[in-house]
Chains A and B, each alone.
Chain A
Amino acid sequence: MSVEVALEPELDRLEALWSDGLADAYQAYLPGVDQPKLALAAALIEVGVRLQGLGGRAAPPTTLLVGDLCLARGSRILADHAPLAVQVAFARAIESLSSAAAAEEPAPASTRELLLQSLGAAR
């Protein structure tokens, strides 16, 4: 699957992830959004926490950094394009995933479920 032209700048340094799960995640979020960039933000965050190993075994340092960049990129896209309620819902989703991980407890739901709910926060 090729990257849509409008999304290409947002994949700077992360192009390799597109064929490594990012495209699939993007497609999964796309039906629930008005702006494709919000689906990309959700996909970046999903892939980011997976790369970091959040809630599982810690990623090696270089992989963690790529995961960090995914989270930061997703967060910046949300800051630029999402309504406040969606930004807050995404942040709360990451907070709940990471606090469960720190407490070594199961996450309240899968990352995708939490992020899909977050995309619907503005409705």
Chain B
Amino acid sequence: MSPNRLEFSTTSPTQFVDITPRIQEAISRSGLRDGRVHLQSLHTTLGLAVNENEPLLLRDFEGLLERLAPAHAGYEHDDFARRFEIRVDEPVNGHAHCRQLLLSAFATLLVEEGRLVLGRWQSVFAVELDGPRQRQLAIQLEGVFATNAREPAESLVELELARQLLVDPEPIASPMRRLIEAGGKRLRPRLVQLTSAIGPRTDPLRAAELAAAVELLHNATLIHDDYVDESTHRRGRPTVAAAEGAERAIAVGDYYFAKATRLIAQIGNPGVTSAVAEALEAICASQIDDVALRGTYPGDRESYLRVIRGKTASLFAAACASGALLSEANEDVVAALRRYGDLLGTAFQMADDVIDFSPSSGKTVGLDIRQRVLSLPLIYAAEDRVVGPEVRRLLAGTLGDTEVGRVTELVTSTDALPRVRREAQALIDEAVRELEVVELDGLRPVLVSVAKSAVDRSS
């Protein structure tokens, strides 16, 4: 059971507030696939109704309430001289209480495949009877949640990761274990697992093997990246290259690159193997482009998009496509999920760029600038007519604390960060639209929620 409050304000004495989208949003956010939503008014002058949202009809309802319980008919409740312990601001609202008696204070609505079950013309209304006011509805959801199914699935991936590291030689396993145990969002394995439940052939164990292998592959690329970028820390811990030297970092990265590709091949689905192999090739090619572009740092938007689609989005796309392929989903679904992953991965990287400028992220502000990593806000700031020349001049020189601080200040003084946020959000909207045209066995709300959380985050 998932408790919550739905809050809103009203603007008229009598008002029909259509809360259908808010309820649907709560359902999507919770991951409820099949079950019920319980709503309860927390006020004695606020009712609930399910009816048609047609303006003239709503005026008819208002007229009906007025005829049945007229505002000025005279109510004993409003005779304050006869009542005990009256508040100074006690409203004259006997009519509103009586009207609420004609409506209901609670409602239970059915949910199927993540959607409210409503007839074509039905909407859910909170009916204000004594407005304007601030209002609250209690909302509880019960039933089968996709997130409930996810928790054991996520544990399966963690177990699989631990199992794979357990059998590896210690000089290899130990640095990877430190990196894995330091955290990470596990978005790619989550996407594999979610999409592997879409087709007719679902096998949670095989999905967990694939998801763990994809995560190992991702971490293998990070180990080499950290050496290339001369990063000293990742996830709050020293990088493998910083702690154990470049030679060890190269060997550990190579080992898990090979092992992950082997584990994926051994799953025995050629489509899955090719999808991940293509992504890995795109990552490596884009990493070369990324380093090459540092000569013209901060670069331009077009180059930026080309690099991040290869470096980041390709594995998101492969994670989504490979999960669906594993479950033998049809071609249309695989293609839609691949596009969803590509858009999601691109938006995810843009959100990461924005977080680099956030003091509340828990990370060092301006790390991308210091390491001359491609960053879309920086590209936009460098193109800005006012601050652009100074940004470009600073980036062309040595980047110490003072220079990084000043560049950060300049970027935040422009529209660059909100602009990148808007672009990321637009990509998420596009990713969500990809999900609307295919049958996803009720998993659409969870995938929508994953997409939204990829950009709506602070770290």
Chain A interface (Cβ < 8 Å from any Cβ of B) = 13, 49, 52-59, 61-62, 64-66, 68-69, 71-73, 75-76, 78-80, 84, 87-88, 90-95, 97-99, 101-104
A88 touching B259 by the CB < 8 A rule?
Answer: no
Minimal beta-carbon separation of A7 from chain B (angstroms): 16
Which of B116-124, B241-249, B411-419 is found at the contact surface with chain A? B241-249
Interface flag for B165 (CB, 8 Å):
no
Chain B residues contacting A68 (CB-CB under 8 Å) are 224, 284, 287
Partner of B172, one of A49, A87, A102: A102
In the assembled complex, the Cα of A75 lies from the Cα of B260 at a distance in Å of 11
Partner of A54, one of B245, B250, B288: B250
Closest residue of chain A to B241 (Cβ to Cβ) is A58
Chain B residues contacting A104 (CB-CB under 8 Å) are 171
A98 touching B255 by the CB < 8 A rule?
Answer: yes
Give residues of chain B (265-311) contacting chain A, Cβ–Cβ below 8 Å: 265-266, 268, 270, 273-274, 276-278, 280-281, 283-285, 287-288, 291
Secondary structure class of chain B's binding surface, majority of residues? helix
Chain B residues contacting A59 (CB-CB under 8 Å) are 250
Interface flag for B327 (CB, 8 Å):
no
A65 touching B288 by the CB < 8 A rule?
Answer: yes
Chain B interface (Cβ < 8 Å from any Cβ of A) = 168-169, 171-172, 224, 227-228, 230, 245-252, 254-255, 257-259, 261-262, 265-266, 268, 270, 273-274, 276-278, 280-281, 283-285, 287-288, 291
Chain A residues contacting B245 (CB-CB under 8 Å) are 58
Chain B residues contacting A55 (CB-CB under 8 Å) are 251
B277 touching A91 by the CB < 8 A rule?
Answer: no
In the assembled complex, the Cα of A49 lies from the Cα of B249 at a distance in Å of 13
Interchain residue pairs A-B with the least CB separation, the first 8: A91-B262, A58-B246, A94-B258, A79-B277, A102-B251, A76-B277, A98-B255, A101-B251
In the assembled complex, the Cα of A73 lies from the Cα of B245 at a distance in Å of 26
Chain A residues contacting B246 (CB-CB under 8 Å) are 58
Minimal beta-carbon separation of B2 from chain A (angstroms): 43
Closest residue of chain B to A86 (Cβ to Cβ) is B265
Chain B residues contacting A98 (CB-CB under 8 Å) are 172, 251-252, 254-255, 258
B169 touching A79 by the CB < 8 A rule?
Answer: no
In the assembled complex, the Cα of A21 lies from the Cα of B264 at a distance in Å of 30
Minimal beta-carbon separation of A60 from chain B (angstroms): 9
Closest residue of chain A to B266 (Cβ to Cβ) is A88
Closest residue of chain B to A77 (Cβ to Cβ) is B277
Partner of A64, one of B172, B227, B274, B278: B227
Partner of B254, one of A57, A62, A94: A94
Partner of A99, one of B172, B250, B273: B172
